[in-house]
């Protein structure tokens, strides 16, 4: 059993492919470790926002995104060390298959790249339905693919009965491969609920807590958690936090079921630079927080709450007046849509929004844009000088005709310009579909804070 005072374990749960069951296994282990009394640090590879919502509910701690392509290697290490230094177990959920990156000849953007960068071992999750002895050559291929990556064990998902599990374990043992650490059986009750916005409020109000506990029960019964913790022991990372005692500025940050997509590192970086984060709800509050120097409206799914957002006229009016007075307003994706004149939902219904940005968002049935983005500032603004570079990710089903001055030029992974990512800028109002990860450009945070210090109170 783990010694809660001294032991620390860290591992990455990587899949053979997407759909291998790694999210289910990750949540089962996070909740099981939490119930054992361990402080769990959850992480998610890639730019995903939905899985971290599940992580937070399962573990009781904010989940941190790790993405070498978007953040850089040093920032990935820093983010991991910051969150893991206060924990007894770090559980990193991978993305797609373990070695799946942005190209066939590169690990860039892959789960394996994160594991190698952090020096943590990998537990491979395999959907074993219809598989027995074939697991051995499969795992042999993964285990021998990279000398700088250590696979310490296998967890099977969608397993059959005891004989099936025994065949899997024996196949790995006979060929001196990483051992089978456990096998979750086929059980419709453990199927991961569809990950979409409609689930998020229910997650946050605890409706799915019983489901998390069922997963944890299965993990305790079917996975050798003690052996997993023992095999993944390492020295606990050290990290010195530098939050100033006296805050320089107050930043109002939208946080409710309609707007909740924020990289936790972005918020930490703001706090480290002397920003006091003051939450408010565009859904429920009638006025903005007092004595603020800026608004930050993150991503989410405002189209799902469009009627309520429209009905909260006092908040929409307050935001528009704040912008018209020269206040700093920054919005990403869903927040960007909220600042527009209107949102038309999937059923063709139009709802009036803030009217700060002279454009209209229309939801489409097909995904309109997805991928990593490198952005270059078009002019001097709250994030720095013209030409400054930041990195992020774009993912949305809505479309809005570009209008006014773009905030930046946005480029995809092949350096092609992406018109949907250019955003909007008018004075201190800045918005875009791109979710920026500020670890890619810490100087942008400093510039943002500096602009807030000069802004009207």
Tell me which residues are annotated as active site: 333
**CA 247: distance to chain centroid?**
27
Q: How far apart are CA 41 and CA 114, in angstroms?
A: 16
Cβ neighbours of residue 246 under 8 Å, at least 6 residues apart? 274
Residues 282, 310 contacting (CB under 8 angstroms): no
How far apart (Å, rounded) are the C-alpha atoms in residues 265 and 281? 21
Q: What distance in Å separates the CA atoms of residue 348 and residue 355, rounded to the nearest whole number? A: 19
Measured between its terminal Cα atoms, the distance across the chain in Å is 54
Q: What is the DSSP string of 329-375?
A: EEEETHHHHHHEEEEE-TTS-EEE---SEEEEEEE-SS--EEEEEEE
Residue appearing with tokens 């783990």: 2
Find out whether 361 and 333 touch, Cβ atoms under 8 Å.
no
Contact 34, 144 (CB under 8 A): no
Where residue 60 falls (left for φ over 0; alpha for ψ -120 to 50; beta otherwise) is left
Q: How far is the C-alpha of 334 from the C-alpha of 381, rounded, in Å?
A: 21
Q: CB count, 10 Å around CB of 436? A: 22
95-101 long-range contacts, CB within 8 A, separation 24+: 95/44, 95/45, 95/46, 95/48, 96/15, 96/17, 96/18, 96/46, 97/14, 97/15, 97/16, 97/17, 97/18, 97/20, 98/14, 98/15, 98/16, 98/122, 98/124, 98/142, 99/142, 99/145, 100/17, 100/18
13's CB contacts (< 8 A; 6+ apart) are: 22, 25, 26, 29, 91, 92, 93, 94, 122, 123, 125, 155
The Cβ-side half-sphere exposure at 211, using a 13 Å CA radius, reads 18
């Amino acid at each position: 059993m783990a010694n809660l005072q001294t032991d620390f374990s860290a591992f990455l749960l990587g899949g053979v492919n997407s759909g291998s069951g790694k999210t289910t296994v990750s949540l089962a282990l996070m909740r099981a470790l939490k119930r054992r009394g361990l402080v769990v640090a959850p992480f998610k590879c890639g730019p995903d926002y939905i899985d971290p919502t599940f992580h937070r509910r399962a573990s009781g701690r904010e989940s941190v995104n790790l993405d070498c392509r978007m953040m850089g290697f040093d920032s990935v290490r820093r983010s991991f060390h910051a969150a893991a230094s206060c924990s007894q177990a770090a559980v990193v959920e991978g993305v797609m298959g373990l070695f799946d990156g942005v190209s066939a000849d590169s690990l860039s953007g892959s789960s394996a790249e994160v594991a190698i960068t952090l020096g943590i071992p990998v537990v491979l999750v395999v959907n074993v339905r219809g598989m027995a002895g074939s697991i051995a050559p499969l795992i042999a291929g993964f285990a021998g693919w990279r000398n700088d990556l250590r696979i310490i064990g296998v967890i099977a998902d969608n397993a059959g009965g005891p004989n099936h599990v025994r065949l899997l374990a024996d196949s790995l043992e006979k060929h001196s491969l990483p051992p089978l650490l456990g096998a979750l059986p086929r059980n419709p009750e453990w199927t991961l609920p569809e990950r979409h916005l409609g689930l998020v409020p229910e997650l946050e109000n605890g409706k799915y807590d019983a489901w998390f506990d069922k997963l944890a029960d299965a993990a305790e019964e079917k996975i050798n958690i003690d052996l997993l913790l023992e095999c993944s022991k390492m020295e606990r990372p050290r990290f010195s936090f530098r939050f100033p005692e006296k805050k320089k500025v107050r930043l109002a940050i939208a946080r409710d079921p309609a707007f909740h997509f924020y990289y936790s590192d972005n918020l930490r970086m703001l706090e480290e630079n002397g920003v006091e984060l003051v939450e408010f709800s565009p859904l429920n509050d009638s006025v903005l927080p007092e004595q603020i120097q800026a608004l930050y409206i993150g991503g989410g799914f405002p189209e799902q709450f469009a009627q309520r957002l429209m009905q909260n006229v006092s908040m929409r009016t307050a935001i528009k007046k704040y912008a018209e007075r020269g206040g700093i307003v920054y919005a990403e994706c869903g927040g960007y849509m909220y600042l527009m004149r209107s949102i038309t939902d999937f059923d063709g219904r139009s709802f009036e929004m803030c009217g700060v940005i002279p454009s209209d968002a229309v939801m489409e049935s097909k995904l309109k844009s997805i991928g990593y983005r490198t952005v270059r500032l078009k002019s001097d603004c709250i994030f720095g000088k013209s030409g400054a570079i930041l990195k992020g990710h774009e993912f949305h089903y809505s479309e809005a005709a570009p209008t006014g001055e773009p905030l930046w030029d946005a480029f995809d992974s092949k350096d092609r310009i992406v018109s949907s990512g250019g955003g909007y800028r008018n004075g201190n109002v800045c918005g875009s579909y791109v979710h920026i990860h500020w670890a890619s450009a810490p100087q942008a945070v400093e510039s943002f804070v500096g602009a807030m210090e000069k802004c009207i109170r």
